[in-house]
Structure 1
Amino acid sequence: MPDIADLEIFARVVTAGSMSAAGREMALSPAVVSKRIRRLEDRLGTRLLQRTTRQIALTEAGQGFYERIVAILASIEEAESYVSRRSALARGTLKVSAPTSFGRMHIAPYLGEFLDKNPDLGVNLVLSDDFVDVVGEGFDLAIRIAELADSSLVVRRLAPTHRILCASPKYLEKHGMPQSIDDLAEHVCLAAAHQDPWRLEGPGGPIAVRASGPVQTNSSEVVRELTLAGVGIALRSTWDIGPDLSAGKLKIVLPDYRASKHVGVYAVYPSRRFLAAKVRVFIDYLAGLYGPSPYWDKGLDAVLNRPTAAE
């Protein structure tokens, strides 16, 4: 099959009337234009143009070929224009992966507003606590809460996330408030299997605390419910327990100790090049919704702004 670029050069030579004129229009030298025309003729096995020192003329085969490729090139241009228009407009279905709890609490409640602003868009929100294969599973983007390492994916930080120790008033009344990090050895410490041990930063630098308690689970949501029920102390993200802290259902324990500040809420997607409008508007919407001081941290400035030894 002939190279599309060769077809475009041939059509431009015919409309421009000479190879030099076509070359000027396409920013190509006459020698390159001539070489590409010869290559096209060699591939087709026939002469398309009669050349003289001053002008060119179509052969009979060249005339018929030109009439047919003009329609083909017009169709290609229309197809490219169609794709470009779609890329410039937020339309279609956006497939998004997000952690279960975060997606339920901080994405789902705002989808209505997002869709009102983008009526030509639909959203397929898949909630999972696994790190999905964004490319392999056909996701447009994934929301991840992590300290992300180098990746072949493009990453945009949407918000900081802070993880602090907390417990219910019921638990603290029964077992007392820990006064030092060493006191945790005498307390029930709750963690899902993938969150054990706790890696904290405090006045003495980094420290790992092994969680131990009467319940084992793979669910972070179960840990949250156990903490609210007064079973033990947990390391929780403020996006998860902000309302519970404000309502007095939970209290902060050992405020000088927190998980790494490098953990954040990120949008990850396959490529920055030719980023579809539907992906861009969704990421921009979430970035505007959360921001560097997300709404779930409201009222926690006194604790979150405390420096640790690592800072």
Structure 2
Amino acid sequence: MAYLENIRTFVRVYELGSMSAAARDQRISAAVASARIAALEEHLDIRLFQRTTRKLNPTEQGALFYHSALRIIEAVDEAEAEIGQVTRSPRGTLHIAAPLGLGQRIIAPAVPEFKALYPLINIRLRLSDRRLDLATEGLDAMFFLGVPEDSSLRIRKIADCERILCAAPAYIARNGLPETSDSLASGAHDCLNLRYVGAPEFQWPLRTPDGVRRISVSGPFESDHGDALTQWALNGHGIILKPRFEVHDHLEAGRLVPVLESEPPVPIQMACLYPHKRRQDPKARLLIEFMIERILGAMPG
């Protein structure tokens, strides 16, 4: 078991490029991570990394061993998952991620339900509106809004998610309703944007009489937290573009009202992403199917 843990640590050091980052990921100290790598190098009689004061680079032998190490870990994980399935007690830990709106409203509340059904499976949930990298984050699955940039991933489409432009009555009373998409493109209205480090230039795709038009918008506030945008909109600070399920209750209560209904946003794809090599993991499939059922059941009609 110690040898397997050494291999797991090596894989995370290789993927993250940092001993300290791998240690945090595995919830061990940097000293323990370093000792595991040293023990593995001694066992294999090779140097896995070239160490400098600032960088940790894999050697040629280290790069070769990484691919074999991945196969070892995946084989062990799949064997444990299959044994758990046979005994009807799937076990292990799953690392999943979701955007804040979907995660807070649907995924997080469903985690205890899933745990009650499969008590030997532990869930590590990461919520973020930033684009996460599955390999870097060590994720088994990621629920996602949009189109993934990494074509090496498996994608399970869940639904086309309706989106809506909306604002608070106080904002409309002060600024009026935009009559066309030109009103947004001209900067005549305050638009609240989701921004994060590395995000592409943000545009709102709207269905106009002339076809889909991508509108560059701007406003006084931006955030990498989707719920912060919703709160600003509720306080009358601008117009937001949101999946309808995230603001459904606010719309029903009149706290937010639809804007520019004649030129609605293009729906966004909701999907689940997972690495190719983990597609056979029975416990991951259990979780994905369970969460998809919960998501579809929670979507407004």
**TM-score, normalised via structure 2 length:** 0.64
Distance in structure 2 (CA, Å) of the matches to 1:92 and 1:104: 23
The 3 A distance-change label for structure 1 pair 119 and 154 is same
1:282 maps to 2:287: yes
The question of whether the paired residues in 2 share the 8 Å contact of 1:165 and 1:257 is answered with no
The question of whether the paired residues in 2 share the 8 Å contact of 1:164 and 1:257 is answered with no
Unaligned runs of 5+ in 1: 1-79, 299-311
Q: Aligned ranges for residues 99-114 of structure 1 at < 5 Å?
A: 99-114=99-114
Distance in structure 1 (CA, Å) of the matches to 2:252 and 2:92: 39
The question of whether the paired residues in 1 share the 8 Å contact of 2:106 and 2:294 is answered with no
The 3 A distance-change label for structure 1 pair 130 and 138 is same
In structure 2, what is the equivalent of residue 295 of structure 1? 298
Q: Could you tell which deviates more after superposition, 232-241 or 143-152?
A: 143-152
Query: Percent of aligned pairs with the same residue?
Result: 31
Equivalences, count: 217
AA aligned opposite 2:246: D
In structure 1, what is the equivalent of residue 191 of structure 2? 189
Q: 1:254 aligns with which of 256, 260, 263?
A: 260
The CA deviation at 1:110 is 1.5
1:222 maps to 2:228: yes
The CA deviation at 1:154 is 0.8
Distance in structure 2 (CA, Å) of the matches to 1:215 and 1:208: 20
In structure 2, what is the equivalent of residue 175 of structure 1? 175
AA aligned opposite 2:155: V
Secondary structure of 2:126's partner? strand
Kindly report the root-mean-square deviation, in angstroms, between the aligned alpha carbons of the 2 structures. Answer: 2.6
Q: 1:265 aligns with which of 243, 265, 270?
A: 270
Distance in structure 2 (CA, Å) of the matches to 1:204 and 1:274: 42
The question of whether the paired residues in 2 share the 8 Å contact of 1:169 and 1:249 is answered with yes
Larger Rg: 1
AA aligned opposite 2:118: N
Q: 1:199 aligns with which of 201, 205, 222?
A: 205
Q: Give a deviation string over 1:138-172, Cα, whole Å, max 9, x none.
A: 21111111123561111101232122111111111
AA aligned opposite 1:290: I
In structure 2, what is the equivalent of residue 45 of structure 1? none
Q: Aligned ranges for residues 1-311 of structure 1 at < 5 Å?
A: 84-86=82-84, 88=86, 89=88, 90-148=90-148, 151-184=151-184, 185=186, 186-193=188-195, 194=199, 196-261=202-267, 263-271=268-276, 275-291=280-296, 295-298=298-301
